Amino acid sequence: MNTTPPTIAVFDAYGTLFDVHSAVARLADTVGPDAGRISELWRQKQLEYTWTRSLMQRYADFWQVTEEALDHALASFGRRDEAVRRALLDAYQKLDAYPDVREALDGYRRQGLRVAVFSNATTAMLSAALNAAGLDDLVDTVYSVHALEIFKPDVRVYAAAAKAFGVAPSSIAFHSSNGWDAAGAASCGWRALWINRAGRPQEYPWMHVPAVPDLGQALAHVTTATVPIFGAIRNAERKDA
């Protein structure tokens, strides 16, 4: 088992650093009484469309996927208002960061780790979001799947990101609020933590990905742990002959 400390802290963006529901929450009065359900469906379809486009080999960038998902969510609740649509998309480019983010990123930097963001989003989306949240000064590098034209959790994007960061997969401390993303990273040898902000039940039993409720506790794990606590393929996954 690898007990060497990681050299780079890598973060998923949407749901991990940025509150994906803050766009609708900010405009709840305008969106109407179904605002919460619209936001949940928007996020659900945004992720679903990345997976289906990848499987179909019909890539479109993450901004287009986000627009398509919003269109479906609004239509599902009978809201076909172009002004509301535009306001929500504008708000999505300036999502709120979670309260624990700045302190956590700064903490990793003070521990001597580089800080990176690894996302399905385009670099333009990420740059705008980091700048709007005032986090751009805490991030050393950004890697987008866009150059590969395929989304997480395809194994190729994790391999390409590790290469871009210039480190071995086992040197990466990866943080994602998406259990499937953390499991995908762990399957490629990254040391992954699931930032389980919603307190959901453990998923992906064929992987072992530890969960913590927020980035503050993630920082404590990464900087104080004396044994490996990151995801790895479970021995039970090996099938008997």
Sign for the CA dihedral angle at 146, 68, 200, 134 comes to: positive
How far apart, in Å, are the Cα atoms of 32 and each of 90, 162, 227? 18, 43, 49
Beta strand 172-176 pairing with 211-212 = unpaired
- Residues identified as active-site: 12
Distance between CA atoms of residues 205 and 145, nearest Å: 26
For the chain, give the number of residues: 241
DSSP letter (8 states) at residue 8: E
Phi-psi region of 126 (alpha: psi -120 to 50; beta: other; left: phi over 0): alpha
Beta strand 8-11 pairing with 172-176 = parallel
Confirm if 77 and 34 have CB atoms less than 8 A apart. Answer: yes
How far apart, in Å, are the Cα atoms of 220 and each of 15, 127, 224? 20, 27, 6
Locate tokens 């490629």: which residue? Answer: 188
Beta strand 141-144 pairing with 172-176 = unpaired
| 3-class secondary-structure state, position 39 | helix
